[in-house]
Structure 1
Amino acid sequence: MDLLSLIWLILLISAFLPMLHQRRIEAARLRLIRSFEKKRGSRLITLIHRQESLSLLGIPLTRYINIEDSEQLLRAIRLTPEDMPIDLVLHTPGGLVLAAEQIAHAILKHRGKVTVYIPHYAMSGGTLIALAADEIVMDENAVLGPVDPQLGQYPAASILQVLAQKPINEIDDRTLILGDMARKAMNQVRESLIQILSEKMEHSKAEELASILSEGRWTHDYPITVEELQKMGLPVKVGLPREIYQLMELYPQPAGRRPSVQYIPLPYGRENERPRA
């Protein structure tokens, strides 16, 4: 074999190895999902957005809730018997309000119990989806987030603050248009939250909580902890099944040149603290 042929062989192997590795990971995910379903007697659905190196060039793709997600998740719910429980693993920074609301309303209509598992975070639209479930199970350090709408790079609530603080003759037409859109967006999200939360609590409490989550009292990335959520009266429990953590391990972030977090990947007991001779 000449040098040129060897180079081409190396390039071909380098191109196909990531694809084979991805296939092995996907097969492991399906085996774990099926095992969990048999154990729980439910359908397990995942909505996990992490960066994965899916292309031949290994370019990481940033993921968020979009229309394709809502189409696939709604199809999974349609394929599930009405009385069968659904378990949903949520790990997402949020995304399109339209897609999140479609998923949330589909969850509300499902007759079987819907349990949402949150191993790390479910922000914005992810929080909207979680609130529609009958039960939210979280890691003790996991968080949800505010559901205040964003218009481009600006929070809708902040745009309305500009209109409230400046005379109208000092505000340009574009900002006035954004203000009109911001007001409508906040009303729409609040009404959607009220509709979802009214299924879980009294209407007056649902209105109060919907205002807290959508009015923009926090920044959009504010982490709402388990303790805060429980004080709000939401059906939140702590203690994820071991299989959920195992499943998350099968959605790896792309490997960098130097890891920013590194440790020996083994559970430690007290015996590790004892000095040895």
Structure 2
Amino acid sequence: MWFWILLILWSLVPVWRQYRIHSQRIRAIRQMERKRGTRVITLIHRQETISFLGIPLRNYISIEDSEQILRAIRLTPDSMPIDLVVHTPGGLVLASEQIAHALGRHPSKVTVFVPHYAMSGGTMIALSAAEIVIDENAVLGPVDPQLGRYPAASLLEVVAQKPVEHVKDETLVLVDMARKALRQVEAFLTELLESKMEMAEAKDLARALSSGLWTHDYPITVEKLKDLRLPIKVGLPREVYALMELYPQPSQRRPSVQYISTPYDGDGDTNRRSHRD
């Protein structure tokens, strides 16, 4: 009997932990909303442990995400600004474009906070904001479309370097789709950027981000973003970092990163502080 009681309790511990951290996240979001007078939405994709079996799931921008964010926007008064915290490797182009389009249509100011990275579709969403606030070490990424395993730009290179008669019909179909995808993404990015800069600059930046100039996982740093003339603000509110702490990675047998999680004063006297803490 005790065995079954312990088994039930053991299986309920992860459920209780998930409920507890969910409550902490809601409180942190509400505190940030009260301080900034905004609607706070998070788009944070981490590999979290779910169920009592501890199965990790890697997330990305999905249609479910776009449905939830669009609903949050509909529930926000036109007079209320929106703050969106983005931490994502990217995801579906359709979902990313829906989110970006809806944010761009919101009458009040939209601010996107990037604490670590917003790649691919995450970058597209960030470009829809009136203001991008980014950590000094955070990065955005290229928005070049991918067709399955292949970058669209690389598919065009195939027919550019190889006689068409030596290219399979299936590859030619992919090339046609790639050409359309590149044109569509570039046009969409230009539309997002034209309100932030001159039309010529918007077209140049849209082409640079979508044309396959870099690999899809290329990190575009703050310095590079400034060179590209993308209007960004460096330095996040402390509330954003506190919120990110509530989205931890799953625990492992041996942590890959360890440090004493207290700020140091820079006077070299760390032993006294560590002992006191």
With the shorter chain as reference, the TM-score category is over 0.9
Q: Distance in 1 between matches of 2:235 and 2:68?
A: 28
Letter of the 1:10 partner, please give it.
Answer: L
Deviation of residue 271 (structure 1)? Answer: 3.2
Q: Distance in 2 between matches of 1:245 and 1:59?
A: 26
Matched, 1:159 2:168: no
Deviation of residue 275 (structure 1)? Answer: 8.4
Structure 1, unaligned stretches of length 5 or more? none
User: Which residue of 2 is the match for residue 225 of structure 1?
Assistant: 221
User: Which residue of 2 is the match for residue 83 of structure 1?
Assistant: 79
Deviation of residue 118 (structure 1)? Answer: 0.4
Matched, 1:23 2:7: no
Query: Which aligned pairs between 1:134-149 and structure 2 lie closer than 5 A?
Result: 134-149=130-145
Q: Distance in 2 between matches of 1:152 and 1:14?
A: 41
Matched, 1:108 2:104: yes
User: Which residue of 2 is the match for residue 47 of structure 1?
Assistant: 43
Q: Distance in 2 between matches of 1:274 and 1:146?
A: 41
Deviations 1:176-230 (A, max 9, x none): 1110111111111001001111121111111111100001011100000111112
Q: Could you list the structure 1 runs, at least 4 aligned residues long, displaced by more than 6 angstroms after superposition.
A: none
Q: Distance in 1 between matches of 2:161 and 2:2?
A: 69
Check conservation: 2:264, 2:270, Cα contact below 8 A.
no
Deviation of residue 234 (structure 1)? Answer: 1.4
User: Which residue of 2 is the match for residue 175 of structure 1?
Assistant: 171
Letter of the 1:200 partner, please give it.
Answer: K
Q: Scaled by the length of structure 2, what TM-score is found? A: 0.96
Of 229-238 and 44-53, more deviation after overlay is shown by 229-238
Letter of the 1:14 partner, please give it.
Answer: W
Matched, 1:252 2:225: no
Deviations 1:159-184 (A, max 9, x none): 11011100011111111111011111
Sequence identity (%): 64
Matched, 1:270 2:270: no
Q: Distance in 2 between matches of 1:137 and 1:253?
A: 23
Q: Distance in 2 between matches of 1:199 and 1:8?
A: 62
Matched residue SS, 1:271 = coil
Structure 2, unaligned stretches of length 5 or more? 273-277
Letter of the 1:133 partner, please give it.
Answer: A
Note closer, same or farther for the CA distance 1:152–1:275 as it changes in structure 2 (3 Å cut): closer
Letter of the 2:28 partner, please give it.
Answer: L
Q: Distance in 2 between matches of 1:199 and 1:67?
A: 27
Q: 2:89 aligns with which of 83, 86, 93?
A: 93
Matched residue SS, 1:47 = strand
Q: 2:119 aligns with which of 95, 115, 123?
A: 123
Q: Distance in 1 between matches of 2:135 and 2:268?
A: 24
Check conservation: 1:94, 1:123, Cα contact below 8 A.
yes
Q: Distance in 2 between matches of 1:235 and 1:83?
A: 23
Letter of the 2:173 partner, please give it.
Answer: I
Letter of the 2:104 partner, please give it.
Answer: L
Check conservation: 2:119, 2:142, Cα contact below 8 A.
yes
Check conservation: 1:140, 1:226, Cα contact below 8 A.
yes
Deviation of residue 92 (structure 1)? Answer: 0.3
Of 266-275 and 49-58, more deviation after overlay is shown by 266-275
Deviation of residue 11 (structure 1)? Answer: 1.3
Check conservation: 1:134, 1:235, Cα contact below 8 A.
no
Alignment: residue pair count: 272
User: Which residue of 1 is the match for residue 257 of structure 2?
Assistant: 261
Letter of the 2:132 partner, please give it.
Answer: I
User: Which residue of 2 is the match for residue 196 of structure 1?
Assistant: 192
